[in-house]
Structure 1
């Protein structure tokens, strides 16, 4: 190979290798300083796509776990109100049992009535004041949905049906029906009840038709009381009507009596398959009364029905709370596993990267030294020029 000074191939080759080593050294320094294997898309394009997806999942699961905790708080708040409702109903029952004894004179019965009246007012206050973050819990038939998963779709939500925890319904049941005249609807076969119910109210010459949501398919109901409860749970119905169950001598439900809250006349348009046409009934009565032993007996029965409803509602809320606990556990496990998967993709192995850094650092020093030597290699030409 001839001797030349214009082009120093050795120096150029050494510089190219040194430049490559410096780039590798710079990348190692960046990874070691950030602790990340992927600092830009160019480091691992497909890995970045996967890791960002996992990052979304982990972030969503973190928020979902907090949502589930909020759900537990909501359920506990509702159950707190129902716990006190239970206590009040038990006290009312004790008073009703006491009123069932004819050893009580009129003054004693008035005292019982006064205490029960105050307890009823407290139930109404509990129904209207129990709320979570401004959302009323015990005086409506709403269903609250909680996002306990990281993704869209029904599988990532838990629905909490508060219709069974409607203390206002209990207050209304204890207070009795409207003093107006109800319309009776006979029910021959409760298992045949299906679809929506539609009632027409005539008041002052003005007709209004109110239709419920689909209350269920045929076979949904096993008792007239169950059908009446479904009507009460419907927001459209309960906003316009009061319903009571008509019973035979054995206490079995034979039909329902519907009374318009505005005092109008109720006519039937489509009360649901299996419901006979309505007929005018006697004024609707009911509610708690203690002026006679027989009325006290009826009050005991009515209170027992409300206690059973509250017990069922509390059991349902307890089951939902347990479900939230399991949802949180599943979410935390998934979050841990997805975080580990993300870490394997994005986090740098510090020991391995330190080995690369040490190697590149030594190569950089050696390359710099060799570049100096290569630059000196053409000095021998000067000896030919002397």
Structure 2
């Protein structure tokens, strides 16, 4: 007989307490929908779950960031669409002014519209903003002091912000691969004899009744990247369409003197090559920096201005200013970002500042300048379009990752109602 302790009652009380605690835990899980309501429920699971929650929320915010990035890109690209339209109209006016049916007064009226259109390009460049951030004035990319000297200027994420002086005053611009196949001739000059000219491994059939004008057309239409023409000085020229040391033309014939009595490509074939630009210096590019050349395109390799790339259009000197690019945080973690630079798109950087169509020579020269500007804007719009497409894929990937990570976190954190009781 035990007098001081009732063991049976104590056991019953303990079991009742455990049952109440289990019931309380089950009700807490059922009411909250969570398997882990506090750290004691599953300490390791809680730590893993919270880490996943940080990733999930980061991925969701990254999706929003990417969508905002698309909106910014669309704003810049939409403005450049209008710049394109303005340049096309300026080109149209330049072609009109090139015609000598116009009087000086007529060209003066055309110049008035050219001036207004130029001012509008500058206004678009200086006032296009997203969330008060200017997009097209070079503040988030590169700009040049004189766009007639340098074209297609770009930088990379490795390019340190600053101003670099590109000294091309002593430069020799790149050349095409060019061969003068005959001289003292005209379009109507008859070929010397029938035969086959082989240019860059393409056979050109020359008939006895052909003129040199006919042969030039055959070469131009048949040989990719090569143009043949007869210039005002009577030279029959065959040249590559592009400049650079990688351009080459090889000419041979199966008979002597096919074109003229002195143009013998049978006994010895001729090979000519183009050249790259030489004599360019970039002040401030830093130690251990070198320049690589491709035609008239110069790129800095190494140093402070790593990745700075520019096309030299004239052998003169100008400054390039590189500003910090835009950074889009498109991931949940540090370093998961995308950098975007947008070059200045005003008349100075496009090389169309001060276009004068009041003379036939000026109007004719303006056409090629505007063509270069259109090409530059096209390149910038192409870059922006590529970034927008990339961000679209980024959003899709972030959504998929967030969905799968949420499912994994749910298996750890959420209650299984079938097991909760």
> TM-score normalised to the size of structure 2?
0.57
Structure 1 residue corresponding to 2:294, chosen from 208, 213, 222: 222
8 Å Cα contact 2:356-2:363 kept in structure 1:
yes
Residue 334 of structure 1 pairs with residue 401 of structure 2: yes
- Displacement of 1:186: 1.8
Counterparts of residues 67-106 of structure 1 (less than 5 Å) = 67-106=65-104
2:410 is matched with 343
State the shift of 1:31 in Å.
Answer: 0.7
Alpha-carbon distance between aligned partners in 1 of 2:373 and 2:122, rounded to the nearest angstrom: 14
1:293 to 343, 353, 360: 360
SS at match of 1:92: helix
User: Matched residue of 1:138: which SS?
Assistant: coil
CA distance in 2 between partners of 1:15 and 1:133 (Å): 67
Please give the secondary structure, in 1, of the residue aligned with 2:313: strand
Structure 1 residues 349 and 119, CA gap change in structure 2 (3 angstroms)? same
SS at match of 2:92: helix
Q: 1:31 aligns with which of 29, 36, 44?
A: 29
Q: CA offsets per residue over residues 201-238 of structure 1, 9 Å max, x none?
A: xxxxxxxxxx246997543x3133x33999xxx8xx9x
- Residue 282 (structure 2) pairs with residue 197 (structure 1): yes
C-alpha displacement of 1:184: 2.2
- In structure 2, the residue matched to 1:185 is 170
> Which string of whole-angstrom CA distances, capped at 9 and with x for unpartnered residues, describes residues 95-139 of structure 1?
000011000001110011110000000011001000111211101
Q: Establish whether residue 257 from structure 1 lines up as the match of residue 242 from structure 2.
A: no
Identify, as 1 or 2, the structure richer in helix: 1
The 2-side partners of 1:257 and 1:92 are apart by 26
- 1:135, 1:96 → 2: CA distance? 34
Superposition pairs of residues 348-367 of structure 1, within 5 angstroms: 348-353=415-420, 356=421
Residue 185 of structure 1: how far off its partner (Å): 1.7
The answer for the alignment partner of 1:305 in structure 2 is 372
- Which shifted more, 82-91 or 185-194? 185-194
Deviates more, 1:115-124 or 1:9-18: 9-18
Give distance in 1, aligned partners of 2:387 and 2:94. 33
- Structure 1 contact 68–327 (Cα < 8 Å) conserved: yes
Residues 143-162 of structure 1: matches in 2 within 5 Å?
162=141
- Count matched residues: 267
The alpha carbon displacement at 1:292 in A equals 2.3
How far apart are residue 172 of structure 1 and its match? 10
Structure 1 contact 190–222 (Cα < 8 Å) conserved: yes
Whole-Å Cα distance in 1 between the matches of residues 80 and 40 of structure 2? 59
2:150–2:313 CA contact under 8 A, matched in 1: no
- 8 A Cα contact 2:144 2:318, kept in partner: no
- 1:214–1:227 Cα change, 3 Å: farther
Of 297, 301, 313, the residue aligned with 1:245 is 313
Alignment of 1:39-78 (within 5 A): 39-78=37-76
CA contact (8 A) 1:184 1:257 kept: yes
SS, match of residue 197 in structure 1 = strand
The equivalent of 1:124 in structure 2 is: 122
TM-score by length of 1: 0.62
Q: Contact 2:29–2:415 at 8 Å: present in 1 too?
A: yes
Aligned to 1:14: 12
Q: 1:330 to 1:88 in 2, by over 3 A?
A: same
> What are the Cα deviations for residues 165-205 of structure 1, in whole angstroms up to 9, with x where unaligned?
x699769999xxxxxxx9822237747789x711xxxxxxx
RMSD: 3.4
Where structure 2 has 5 or more consecutive residues not aligned to the other structure, the ranges are: 152-166, 174-274, 321-351
Distance 1:288 1:229 in 2: 31
Distance in 2 (alpha carbons) for counterparts of 1:315 and 1:223: 22
**What is the distance in 1 between the residues matched to 2:417 and 2:374?**
64
